[in-house]
Structure 1
């Protein structure tokens, strides 16, 4: 098994140094490869197609996503062995390729968002306003207005958002840094809330000795949905992040810019937000593509497809 472990370690070093793989990705690769080595009694490096097929037979009880991840880890590893001249063949074609297409996240319409904010404004309008309503306003403004992940949001330092700076720098998933835009509305909501935060607090959203928990944030968003007359099972912090992405794209945002704002390492992750209806896509091409302008200049009607 020593050859397996040594080469797995070399593979992980390569992935970190040459591919810039995130820590969580490296951990998943390492776990999958070491488990495969154990299952093959230390014979992973020398395994043939039949051995890999037998290994995959033991994955029957696993989800399609897990099988796809394990198979991808092994394919990359055998590709590395071939690139390094340690194997003259690649037996990984014997591994399964399950369909793992992600389901689209739940969708909130602009009307739903308006109802959420209307419910918040009704609560803030009470005299005097409840500090917890000011906190809820700041949370929702950041979720929908900046697309933050729940963990990123609840763990924001007290001084993360500056009154005179329309962005913040976040270190998110995989320790990657990104710049996140902060709207004027969000900065105003945060300023109103920050007056209620103890000056010595480390966190913008403190709770006890630490910060607000993700579970509590989830509960607050569900409760707000109920107040706004939206079924709570349709709303969550991630759904608001999804609404941020979807509504930006519908407004004409660039997919690469959105990828940077969301902190996705791979643009294929961002593409799950592109469930724009085909009619609007055709309209966008006709309105913005140079050929659309050329045809319009010649008097060709580009507003409707041919019959």
Structure 2
């Protein structure tokens, strides 16, 4: 491996080879095809394995995008997927951390200019305080890609259809021993089995939308449908896809409940919502009365433009982007879920286990993350403490002067009454 020739990754051009195609077949929701339309069998078998393990179609799509990115890199370096070695894995890991997303490439920009944009310092959003996005892949995306590719080659190695050695191995300093050996039950569970080419992902505290900012965002929504959606997201904490999948039979205004299918476990769960959310929902339904199909199995959310179609995630995302553009903010749909759980966690009448159940968290430690105070709240609290201390000092009577000091002279010197 050390004797392998070094590739010039700076001059490497990765073409847009192939694509991931969505099908209407629930047994094969996605296929990866080449430029000639031929199905890539190695990925199709892996997708079937994911579905057999109970993975959702959205997970298959996420894994498929990582595999497509890997296939495009192998096509650029002229190496077959079943002949890839750790040299290709190493070069791919370097390339994906330093390259620019293909959808953001601008004609006429030099490679040096594109690389510089990865590290250019951009000011955070003035409304939300979020750091500006770069033109490269996020560390979480890179880490997810490494995990997917390692699992892909583990599957084909076990099946005897891939390389004997996984191109994406575990960290050599940790793969030789048992994970969590001699673990202290009083300590947290650290991630020990990590890949050799897996980057470190920074720990981020979930960011909730402040109440005042949320009111401004809600006022910028143009329709009753959008207000109903946001009202349900902020009051139930449901994920965007979970709420968009709600059917007419899943709405229970009498008990202020809606039924959602959890994204990960696919469990059916009733979650409470605010009364305001049902009011906005009724106004939206009255506007579309007679224009959408009726039936208990019909979707609740539809497009406002004709022809009416069930509302999907991308259309809802664009709706929220337009509201953000009016305020100059960059909140996301998932920030509404963060805001909902943060509001519940601050309520002294709700226990943390209650919040865990409503949010559908598998572990209580996930819910505990939202107990971490926001940076702005900490700064405001510390400044308020400084103000209280200063006020107490002004009200407190000064101690008597030590023997030998003239009180009148001290009063003139320090400007206070002794």
TM-score class, shorter-chain normalisation, is 0.5 to 0.7
Whole-angstrom CA distance in 1 between matches of 2:364 and 2:86: 30
Residue 168 of structure 1, aligned match among 258, 280, 303:
258
Whole-angstrom CA distance in 2 between matches of 1:51 and 1:81: 17
**Is residue 190 from structure 1 mapped to residue 281 from structure 2 by the alignment?**
yes
* Structure 1 equivalent of residue 400 of structure 2: none
Question: Which structure has the greater CA radius of gyration?
Answer: 2
TM-aligned CA deviation for residue 144 of structure 1? 0.9
Aligned length: 250
Q: Taking structure 1 as reference, are residues 99 and 195 closer, same or farther at Cα in structure 2, changes over 3 Å only?
A: same
* Structure 1 equivalent of residue 197 of structure 2: 96
* Structure 2 equivalent of residue 73 of structure 1: 148
**TM-score for the superposition, normalised by structure 2:** 0.47
TM-aligned CA deviation for residue 237 of structure 1? 4.2
Whole-angstrom CA distance in 1 between matches of 2:324 and 2:65: 31
Whole-angstrom CA distance in 2 between matches of 1:222 and 1:55: 36
Runs (4+) off by over 6 Å: 266-269
Residue 142 of structure 1, aligned match among 216, 232, 246:
232
CA contact (8 A) 1:168 1:180 kept: yes
**Is residue 25 from structure 1 mapped to residue 34 from structure 2 by the alignment?**
no
What aligned pairs does 1:1-307 form with structure 2 within 5 A after superposition? Answer: 5-18=40-53, 20=55, 22-39=59-76, 41-59=78-96, 60-61=98-99, 62-63=136-137, 64-84=139-159, 87-93=163-169, 96-101=197-202, 103-109=204-210, 137-150=227-240, 161-170=251-260, 176=266, 178-185=268-275, 186-202=277-293, 204=301, 206-209=303-306, 210=308, 213-214=315-316, 215-220=318-323, 233=329, 237-251=333-347, 252-254=351-353, 256-260=356-360, 274-277=370-373
Q: Taking structure 1 as reference, are residues 84 and 36 closer, same or farther at Cα in structure 2, changes over 3 Å only?
A: farther
CA contact (8 A) 1:12 1:30 kept: no
Whole-angstrom CA distance in 1 between matches of 2:234 and 2:88: 49
Larger helix percent: 1
Whole-angstrom CA distance in 1 between matches of 2:53 and 2:242: 28
CA contact (8 A) 1:143 1:149 kept: yes
The Cα offsets for residues 33-56 of structure 1, whole Å up to 9 and x where unpaired, read as: 433543453433233323432343
In structure 2, stretches of 5+ residues that fail to align are: 1-39, 100-135, 172-195, 294-299, 375-418
TM-aligned CA deviation for residue 164 of structure 1? 3.0
TM-aligned CA deviation for residue 75 of structure 1? 1.2
In structure 1, stretches of 5+ residues that fail to align are: 121-131, 227-231, 279-307
Q: Taking structure 1 as reference, are residues 154 and 67 closer, same or farther at Cα in structure 2, changes over 3 Å only?
A: closer
- C-alpha RMSD over aligned residues: 4.3
